[in-house]
Amino acid sequence: MSGGTGTADERGDLTGLLRWYPPAWRTRYGPELVALMEDDLEGGRPTVRFRTSMAVSGLRQRARSAGVAGHGSPPGVRVRAGALVVLASWTALVLGGAAFAKLSEHYSDATLAEGHGVAVAAYDAVLVLAVTGLVLVLAGVAVATPAAWRFLRAGGWPAVRRPMVVAAVLSVTVVIATVGLGHWAHHLTVHARNGGNAVYSGAFLAWAVLVAAVLATWTGAGTAVARRLDLGPTSLRIEAGLAFAVAVVVGVTAAMIGLWWVAMARGASWYLAGTRPGTHPSAVTAPLVILMGWLAVATAVALYGAVRVGRSVRAV
């Protein structure tokens, strides 16, 4: 197959691979890319390896178009993209923080052989950092609000309506689920609320997944709006500073949770393993390993976003 001589089904199959690329890029280069793919395949069907290669290439182009990767975008776009990457890392931190809150529930009731002061200090630091991160993110939202209002007044709502509506609907669902779950929990014993009732445990897990979905969708909706805003140099520099601060919060929070883990492991490993007091099991448990791995990824993402901002903000 060459020069666009493929069947309609084959061309449709190749055209479907263009969905990985940004809309503007597809409009400009799509037909040429389809013709190149036809020449490369020489009448054959696209293999899994070929499809994967096109997907990776398309995602890279999306990253470059969004300013997340490469240096072809204007400095302002790269600053905004870097700040949004940091915002995504903060969302991941919030989810990790919720898991930490569950894992560390009633930790203060455990009598530590040593390291009690360190554990308390690390836990309190996590609480302070959580509030600090929220304040910084809300400050970033406040800085961008005037530009967002101008965008919506200029007819931008249709472009962001879908992610905003999805986030709003999920939020209402979470509120209803929270009220119902709380009413249910009020009529259960402590043992039933902490794994003794399998149905309740399943419902709680579903609720946690729903909360995670709400955070993810609101982050996606905020990103959809932020990518379309026309922010002036002053606003961009403020957002850059806030992004740096949020990245620091993400990294330090991960470090404090790790410090809490070490302190608890030295003084009350039985608490981490869920065994009886006085025993000395391994403090390396699957939930904590997964949590720390998650926080390590969030920190790496935050660092990347901060570096992206730092390299671009000087040119704004």
Distance (Å, rounded) from C-alpha 136 to C-alpha 112? 34
Residue 263 counted as domain residue: yes
Supply the range of the domain harboring residue 17: 8-59
The whole-number pLDDT of residue 67 equals 57
The whole-number pLDDT of residue 4 equals 47
The whole-number pLDDT of residue 1 equals 40
Does 100 lie in the same domain as 44? no
Does 233 lie in the same domain as 152? yes
Q: Please tell me whether residue 43 adopts helix, strand or coil conformation.
A: coil
**Residues 196-210: tens digit of each pLDDT:** 788 988 998 899 899
Q: What is the pLDDT along the chain (316 residues), one digit of tens a residue?
A: 444 455 555 566 778 888 888 887 888 888 888 888 888 877 778 888 888 888 888 877 877 766 566 666 788 888 888 999 999 999 999 999 999 998 898 888 776 666 688 999 999 999 999 999 999 999 999 999 999 999 999 999 998 999 999 999 999 999 999 999 889 988 888 677 766 788 988 998 899 899 999 998 998 888 888 888 888 999 999 999 999 999 999 999 999 999 999 999 888 888 888 888 878 888 888 889 999 999 999 999 999 999 989 988 988 7
Residue 148 counted as domain residue: yes
The whole-number pLDDT of residue 117 equals 87
Residue 140 counted as domain residue: yes
- Element housing 271 (H / E): helix 269-273
Q: Which residue do the tokens 């009529």 mark?
A: 187
The whole-number pLDDT of residue 9 equals 58
Residue 19 counted as domain residue: yes
Residue 186 counted as domain residue: no
Residue 201 counted as domain residue: no
Does 35 lie in the same domain as 145? no
Q: What percent of the chain has pLDDT over 90?
A: 44
Residue 257 counted as domain residue: yes
Does 84 lie in the same domain as 52? no
The whole-number pLDDT of residue 8 equals 54
Does 304 lie in the same domain as 225? yes
CB of 10 within 8 A of CB of 45?
Answer: yes
**Residues 119-130: tens digit of each pLDDT:** 999 999 999 999
The whole-number pLDDT of residue 218 equals 92
**Number of domains composing the chain:** 2
Does 139 lie in the same domain as 217? yes
pTM value is 0.78
Does 81 lie in the same domain as 34? no
Does 274 lie in the same domain as 236? yes
Residue 110 counted as domain residue: yes
Does 102 lie in the same domain as 38? no
Does 113 lie in the same domain as 220? yes
